[in-house]
Chains A and B, each alone.
Chain A
Amino acid sequence: MFSESAQFSEVTSVRRHRPDYLIVLYMGLLMLLGLVIMYAIGPQRANVLNNAYGSNYGDTYFFGKQVVSLLFSLAAFAAIASIPYNLVTKNAGKILLFALGACALLAIAGWAHLGIAQQSLGATRWFNLGPLGSLQPAELLKFAILVFVAGFLGVKVKQGKLNDVNETLIPLAVLTAISMLFIVVIQKDLGTGVSLMTIIMTMLIVGGINKRIGGIILMTIIAVGTVMIISAPHRLDRIVTFFKGDDTSSSDAGSYHIEQAKVAIGTGGLFGVGVGNSIQSTGYLPEATNDSVFAIMGETFGFVGLVTILILFGALLMRLLKIMDHLIDVRLKLIVAGVFGWLGSHVILNVASMIGIFPLTGITLPLLSFGGTSMLFITAALGLVFQLSHYTVNSLNLKEAQHENFSGRRGLGRSRHASRGSFTRG
């Protein structure tokens, strides 16, 4: 049933034109802000970790490492943006198998307590690659699912079988279940699981799932999610914490984390305390450089800064939707939809938990959080979208192009309708 390995062989023949540089602009601005924060609170963070774990990080350790992460990520962006996308899409199945294999290997290594599996916070989520740092296979799996499911669903959409239970939904459910087994059950990473579900759901929505089936799927996800939450004490704690609200007297770790995040954001005020003056990052707020970076930015840059960050994310996401709307090949559309779901789920879940309106999920804020793997794959995904932005069509020509595309007259002069960059400038 996953035999369509050559799903993307029918390349849209829209002539390659100027890509959407705004993606690079927004992404770059966000990365720069993240770098500024790493520079500002890196010394505090190093100090906290040195005192807590006896490590010996220097003042510039986090800044330096973030620079390296950014360089790797930009390289990945450039690579994925330049390698013809059909090379990626053609091999989607292989990438998926590789990602699932990596997850399986991590599970086995973790079970066998091998040094390569890095245990942290009661879960095995990372491969320890020694001096090269660590790698989170779940992020690779997200990327693999993105390209593979986009291809799979794209074909089904073309065949008009998207809502077909046996041919589409059951295979998809099996794949999803396997992925969830690795990520949520074995790696105990609900955040990444939710993100993965969002990627798939976004693709289903954009692919045109009918409302009844969509509703059933959503209900199923909620039901399974509830079971997951109840079965894992640390998740239940977070939910309980969340519903207790602004109960500062509570002293468990989850409510402490959210409370400290709110203190950081609240103290920021309109313009923030300024770079280098963050106090919450000196150990009060857990995960200051990682999942809590939004709160530290709130303290540092204030309301103005956070709204700016939200605007940048919003603009980037809107760019994705626009590119999606102006792609002809539904499989490419679905890739962009998936990236939208990926980026959107991370931003929304992270920010919502930091500002105390959603339970803590433990998910990174893309492009800003410290952390290589997450950044690497989301920039890779954005790189893919950037490449696809070469192939958008003017909205005037969309219908015709769509028509021509489905009429099977592929490869014929459609490019002449694609006025270069006319859309991307808009």
Chain B
Amino acid sequence: MNLELQKGSRSKTLAAILFITMAVFVGRLFYLQIIQHDYYVGVANQEQIKRLAIPAKRGLIYALDGQTPVPLVMNQTVYTVFADPKTTTDDTKIIDTIRKIAGGNACPDLQALLNKKDSRYQVLATRITRSQADKIKQENLNGVGFQEESQRVYPEGSLAAQTLGFVDFSGVGRYGVEDKLNDELTGTDGLLQSVTDVRDVPLTIGNNNINRPAVNGKNVVLSIDRNVQSHVEQALSDGLKRTGATRGSAIVMDPQTGQIMAMANLPTYDPAKFNLVSDVAAFNNAVVSAPYEPGSDVKTLTMATGIDKGVVTPDATYNNTDYIKVDDRTITNATLGQTGEITFQHALNWSLNTGFVTVAERLGDGKSITRGARDTMYDYFYNRFHLGQLTGVEVAGETAGTVVSPTTSEGNAVRYSNMAFGQGLDATMVQVASAFGSIVNGGKYYKPTVIAGVVDASGKYIANKITQPSMQIAKSTADQVRSMTHVARDTFFASLDRPGYYIGGKTGTSQVIKNGVYSSDETVGTYLGYGGSEDLSRYVIMIQVSGDNKLLQGARDALPIFTDISNWMLNYLEIQPKG
């Protein structure tokens, strides 16, 4: 008999194998479970925890109808129809159904798309409505699926298009309020994070589950009044037809709040079809984004500066010779013949450049536009009337313009003599209209705004508080200049206005700089005015018309558009005539 067996040495061999194996196992387990624990927890989390974004609804954009918000931009769920050509069975039926129901939203050559049998995803129709999608679903087409997405719809069509902007196909606001207030409108997507089983069904195990609801975007109410906006767009369009101008812009503001009631630019576009626009210039809201030389409209601001500093009054006089020398330059009046000792009111009526260069000189030593005069003008134009700086209006693409400071060599006497009658500085219409608003309301500068408030989740309109204005010029100064523009308008155009109201304004005809020199074959016509009762101006309207190689004048081309809107506004705002 084998002695080895009796001693059990072979069982010791087996025991040894067992021990060694178990030791290896325990070592390996220690490695996996203790040393590598964090690594495997990471791997596990990666595959076990699923995250699902709950899309936030983009906020709606409302306009006002009087005091009531009405939607200008809404959301609509639309569907993309796609096919998995590998699993489709009845291609003919699919093509017929999609063509019949989706119509123009169907992609061209569906047969070719369905013939791509290797592909798993072909879009057959885009942006169809829910009812269209339901009809297609009823056909139970094999291999056809639907994707839901949200799209902006515009119940008022292209109304206020450049103020609104649009939302691109990736859901980001472009231009206008959609861009400027993109974050507020977008809201915050919610997050659903959960440990799931292998089929992505959420489990209630562990502490890693998160359910954060989406925060929908804010519903914004614009201060744009849909009726005013609509009329302004119509009046502007009519004006362009009448004058032959190809471009026109208009802004209507409430001088008592800074709220913009209408902002229009032509040509415009349809935000629902933004992808079909070939000239992106149509997207820009020129009122805030296109600085230009405002021309004679600025004379009101020069006058206000002079009166506020006490160097001139409306009835003060100067000797008009139809030209005036500043350093080596001679400045000439556009209208000649009003020579002699005339009042500044007269100079404003006839828009005589010499009068306002004289005001600038009187801000200095009376003979020349000294550094002191230039500092004063800069202080008023830039600091008080906010020309050449961003107003912060809630429309994307605002441009600051330029008011050259007297501290630079560019800011010399010649430059400032030009600025006195509106040349040599760039400003946007919203800047000029806001500045003018601070004159017609008695000296208070309101920051211009297109936002009136919000509509909360329950549909209630909550109006914003009016921002506190800043007092920029003395009320008496403001009232005198307001009166001067009333007189200026009344002198020539009193018959245009409805009786019993207090209307004023200033024409402007600005030359256009082409290749660095003032062009003789293109001018921009503007009109800047206000209206209401004598006690209270209710609106400021600014009109601008232009066109390539077109000589457009403030009085002839822009003023009638103002008059159209102004008379309509008196009626719309139900202002009682005096007497």
- Of A202, A279, A318, the most chain B CB neighbours within 10 A belong to A279
Q: Is B198 an interface residue (CB 8 A)?
A: yes
Whether B11 lies near A321 (C-beta < 8 A) is yes
Contacts A48-B198, A310-B26, A321-B14 given: A208-B34 contact, CB under 8 Å? Answer: no
- Does A267 lie at the interface of the complex (its beta carbon under 8 Å from any beta carbon of B)? yes
Q: For residues 265 through 316 of chain A, which have their beta carbon under 8 Å from a beta carbon of chain B?
A: 265-270, 273, 276-280, 282-284, 298, 302-303, 306-307, 310, 314
B111 within 8 A of A: no
- Stretch of B1-9, B87-95, B539-547, B556-564 lying at the A interface: B1-9
13 A-B residue pairings within 8 Å (CB atoms): A47-B197, A208-B2, A263-B47, A266-B36, A266-B44, A273-B206, A277-B205, A282-B196, A284-B47, A298-B32, A318-B15, A352-B25, A356-B28
Contact check, B29 vs A206: say whether CB atoms are below 8 A apart: no
A306 B29 Cβ-Cβ under 8 A: yes
Q: Are B32 and A266 in contact (CB under 8 A)?
A: yes
A333's nearest neighbour on chain B, judged by CB, is B5
Report how far A44 CA is from B34 CA in the complex, Å. 26
Interface string of B284-315 (1 = CB under 8 A from A): 00000000000000000000000000000000
Contact bitstring B2-46, A, C-beta under 8 A = 1, else 0: 101110101101110011011011101110111011011101100
The 6 closest A-B pairs by CB, nearest first: A266-B40, A283-B198, A282-B197, A303-B33, A325-B8, A208-B2
Instruction: Indicate which residue in A307, A321, A324, A344 contacts B26 across the interface (CB closer than 8 Å).
Output: A307
**Chain B window 63-82, contacts with chain A (Cβ cutoff 8 Å), 1 for yes, 0 for no:** 00000000000000000000
In whole angstroms, what is the CA distance A207 to B4 when docked? 10
Cα–Cα distance between A386 and B454 once the two chains are bound (Å): 84
| 12 extra interface residue pairs, beta carbon distance < 8 Å, beyond A266-B43, A267-B41, A268-B33 | A48-B197, A51-B199, A160-B1, A266-B33, A266-B36, A268-B37, A282-B198, A284-B197, A324-B8, A325-B8, A337-B14, A402-B6
A398 CB–B CB distance under 8 Å: yes
Q: How many residues of A contact B (CB 8 A)?
A: 56
Residues of chain A touching chain B, judged by Cβ–Cβ distance below 8 Å, are 44, 47-48, 51, 157, 160, 202, 205-208, 248, 262-263, 265-270, 273, 276-280, 282-284, 298, 302-303, 306-307, 310, 314, 317-318, 321, 324-325, 330, 333, 337, 340, 344, 348, 351-352, 355-357, 398-399, 402, 406
Partner of B37, one of A44, A269, A277, A317: A269
- Cβ of A356: which chain B residues have Cβ within 8 Å of it? 28, 32
Minimal Cβ-Cβ distance residue in B for A158:
B1
Q: Is the CB of A310 within 8 A of B197?
A: no
- CB atoms of A357 and B34 under 8 A apart: no
Measured CB to CB, the nearest residue on chain A to B36 is: A266
B18 touches A318 (CB 8 A): yes
Give every chain B residue within 8 A of A321 (Cβ-Cβ). Answer: 11, 14-15, 18
Which chain B residues in 427-465 approach chain A with CB under 8 Å? none
B195 interface contact, C-beta 8 A: yes
Q: Which residues of chain A are near B43, meaning CB under 8 Å?
A: 248, 263, 266
Q: A279-B48, A310-B26 are in contact. Are A267 and B13 (CB under 8 A)?
A: no
Interface residues in B, total, Cβ within 8 A: 41
- Complex: A47 Cα to B8 Cα, angstroms: 50
Give residues of chain B (138-164) contacting chain A, Cβ–Cβ below 8 Å.
none
Contact B197 A399 (CB under 8 A): no
Docked complex Cα distance between A273 and B40 (Å): 13
CA distance A266 to B40 in the complex (A): 5
- Give the Cβ gap from A402 to chain B, nearest Cβ, in Å: 6
Residues in A with CB closer than 8 Å to B41 are: 266-267, 269
The answer on a CB contact under 8 Å between B197 and A303 is no
Q: Does B203 contact A (CB under 8 A)?
A: yes
CA distance A333 to B1 in the complex (A): 14
Q: Are B29 and A298 in contact (CB under 8 A)?
A: yes
The B178-198 residues at the A interface (CB cut-off 8 A) are: 195-198
How many residue pairs, one in A and one in B, have C-beta atoms under 8 Å apart?
A: 131
Query: What CA separation (Å) do A36 and B367 show in the bound complex?
Result: 105
**Chain B residues whose C-beta falls within 8 Å of the C-beta of A270 in the assembled complex:** 33-34, 37
CA distance A48 to B201 in the complex (A): 11
| Contact across chains for B205 and A279 when beta carbons are under 8 A apart | yes
Closest to B197 in A: A282
Secondary structure at the B interface, as helix, strand, loop or mixed, is helix
Q: Does the CB pair A280–B44 fall under 8 Å?
A: yes
How many Å lie between the Cα of A387 and that of B150 in the bound state? 76
> Smallest distance from the beta carbon of B287 to chain A beta carbons, Å?
57
- B contact residues vs A (CB 8 Å cutoff): 1-2, 4-6, 8, 10-11, 13-15, 18-19, 21-22, 24-26, 28-30, 32-34, 36-37, 39-41, 43-44, 47-48, 195-199, 203, 205-206
A284: nearest chain-B partner, CB-CB: B198
Contacting B28 at CB < 8 Å: which of A268, A283, A355, A398? A355
| Contact of B34 with A282 in the complex, beta carbons under 8 Å | no
Q: How far is the CB of B55 from chain A (nearest CB, A)?
A: 28
CB <8 Å contact, B33 and A265: yes
**Nearest residue in A to B15 (C-beta to C-beta)?**
A321
B209 CB, nearest partner CB in chain A, Å: 12
- Chain A residues near B11 (CB-CB < 8 A): 206, 321, 324-325
* CB of A359 to closest CB in B, whole Å: 15
Cα of A202 to Cα of B11 in the assembled complex, Å:
10
The CA-CA distance from A406 to B3 in the complex, in Å, is 13
Q: CA separation between A352 and B25, bound complex, in Å?
A: 7
Alpha-carbon distance A303/B31, docked complex (angstroms) = 10
In the bound complex, do residue A206 and residue B25 qualify as a contact, i.e. CB atoms below 8 Å apart? no
A279 contacts B203, CB within 8 Å?
yes
**B18 neighbours in A (Cβ, 8 Å):** 314, 317-318, 321, 344
Which B residues are CB-close (under 8 A) to A337?
A: 14
Bound-state Cα–Cα, A347 to B43, Å: 27
CB < 8 Å: which of A202, A207, A273, A352 contacts B14?
A202
Instruction: Give Cα A98 to B25, complex, Å.
Output: 38
B21: chain A residues at CB < 8 Å are 348, 352
Q: Is the CB of B195 within 8 A of A266?
A: no
User: CB-CB < 8 A to B24: which residues of A?
Assistant: 357
Residues of chain B with a CB closer than 8 A to A276's CB: 205
Q: How far is the CB of B139 from chain A (nearest CB, A)?
A: 28
CB distance A205 to B206 under 8 Å?
no
Task: State which of B10, B15, B28, B30 has its C-beta within 8 Å of the C-beta of A205.
Answer: B10
Partner of B29, one of A51, A333, A355: A355
A355 and B195 contacting across the interface, CB-CB below 8 Å = no
Determine the residue in chain B with the shortest Cβ distance to A325: B8
Docked Cα-Cα span, A47 to B199, in Å, equals 11
Q: Please measure, in the bound complex, the distance between the C-alpha atom of A262 and the C-alpha atom of B175, giving whole angstroms.
A: 53
> What is the minimal beta-carbon distance from B8 to any residue of chain A, in angstroms?
4
Contact check, B33 vs A306: say whether CB atoms are below 8 A apart. yes
CA A330 – CA B185 in complex, angstroms? 87
CB of B26 within 8 A of CB of A399, answer no
Most chain A Cβ neighbours within 10 Å, of B21, B30, B195, B203: B21
Q: A residues within 8 A CB of B29?
A: 265, 298, 303, 306-307, 310, 355
| CB of A247, distance to nearest CB on chain B (Å) | 13
A273 contacts across to B, CB distance below 8 A? 206
Look across to chain A and name the residue whose beta carbon is closest to the beta carbon of B37: A269
Q: Chain B's nearest CB lies how many Å from the CB of A223?
A: 22
Chain B residues, Cβ within 8 Å of A357: 24, 28
Most buried by A among B2, B11, B196: B11
Q: Which residue of B lies closest to A209 (CB)?
A: B10
